[in-house]
Amino acid sequence: MGKANSKSIQYSFKPKKKQRQLSTNSFSSTSSATLSSNSSHSSHSSQEKEILPNEEELFQYVDNRKFCKWNEYTNYVYPVDHDETDRSQMQHFMYKHVWGENFSSPIGHQLQSDSTRVLDVGCGSGTWVLEMASEYQNAQFTGVDIARLYPSEIKPENVSFVQANVLVGLPFPDNTFDFIHMRFMLFAFTLKNWEVAINELIRVCKPGGYIELMEKDILWFNEGPFCKAARTVMADELRDKKGMEVIITPTLQKILSQHTSVNHDEKVVPLGEWGGKLGKLYRELYGWGAKNLKKVMTDIGFSEEEWNETVDICLKQLQERKGYDKIHRFWIKKSED
């Protein structure tokens, strides 16, 4: 890849012709059987169960950091470790501040009931679940994630966690949950994964229940020429070599609208010190998150040095031009027919 010179701001983004060999054997026969049985959604057990994949089949270590092995059903490109958990927790509290609430769906009154069941898909360390369970102590909360970063023993009585993969199939019967929440899966799903995942959320949601997604596109406003060039190359290479789409919100709205009417809200978040304490924190989190993507960036053609320099230049240019991005929430009510 041609190197971007931060002084002359000359851009020549030409990723190296390099493609990682994808693993096709990262799930056991048990998981494959689960996928087959889930395709019809008719053979789910009426009892919740915990799926315990073999660690060696799902994860690998690169430069002393833990990653999901890449295949059709595990596409998460961020590390699965404490550093990334720390970042995602800080991100949670920042976005809680931006929105003023942990959800946008009109389910506040239902959360006061002891019959209400809530599911968080891709729960990570369980921050959203634990905070919600503390605030709404009557409702029952379940978090699921492919990696066991959530607390296994010390947790509120109204919280449970299950290791599962939404792309293989959630281990719950149809029509189980009143509210389903999923966020920040942009770097966990390929473009074709999104419809599979959303259909699975709809399956386990009760008629009249709500499903809410929160995502952001890799799309900056007031960006400069370097940012636009770098962002475009990143998007093109991820789409071509990984099947990922980083401008995902139009796709989400399209998939959701196939089921029912879609509610949408968005918030503007400043990127840089020009936006005060919020902008400064967001800039730090953005840089932290971008540099935690260095493995997939080297997979698609950047060198580590090039990627780190690209991130630094982009953040500098966004600060200078008062750049910002937008965070989106979409929510739907499942038909009661």
Number of independent structural domains in the chain: 1
Residue 50, in any domain of the structure = no
> Is 211 among the domain residues?
yes
Q: CA-to-CA distance for 316 and 322, rounded, in angstroms? A: 10
Evaluate whether residue 11 is within a structural domain. no
Cβ–Cβ < 8 Å for 224, 317: yes
CA dist 103 and 150 (Å) reads 20
Among the residues of the chain, which ranges form H helices? 29-38, 55-58, 82-99, 127-135, 191-204, 225-242, 249-257, 276-291, 294-299, 304-320
Q: Whose CA is closest to 223, among 327, 102, 313, 314?
A: 314
Q: pLDDT digit string (tens) for 198-217? A: 999 999 999 999 999 999 99
Q: So what's the pLDDT on residue 53?
A: 58
Q: What is the pLDDT of residues 99-110, one digit of tens each?
A: 999 999 999 999
The stretches in the chain having pLDDT less than 70 are 1-54
Instruction: Determine contact, residues 178/110, Cβ cutoff 8 Å.
Output: yes
Query: Three-state DSSP class for 264?
Result: strand
The model's pTM is 0.84
Whether residue 307 is contained in a domain is answered as: yes
Separation of alpha carbons 35 and 325, rounded Å: 37
> Is 60 contained in some domain?
no
In a domain, 291, yes or no: yes
Burial 129-168 (b: 16+ CB within 10 A, else e): bbebbeebeebbbbbbbbbbbbeeeebeebbbbbbbbbbb
Domain that holds residue 84: 67-334
Predicted local confidence at residue 153, as pLDDT: 87
Q: Is 239 in contact with 209 (CB distance < 8 Å)?
A: no
pLDDT of the residue at 207: 97
Q: Would residue 31 count as lying in a domain?
A: no
Residue 216 lies in a domain: yes
Instruction: In whole angstroms, give the CA distance from residue 65 to residue 55.
Output: 14
Does residue 252 contact residue 327 with C-beta atoms inside 8 Å?
A: no
CATH number of the domain encompassing residue 227:
3.40.50.150
Question: Phi/psi class of residue 276: alpha, beta or left (left: φ > 0; alpha: ψ in -120 to 50)?
Answer: left
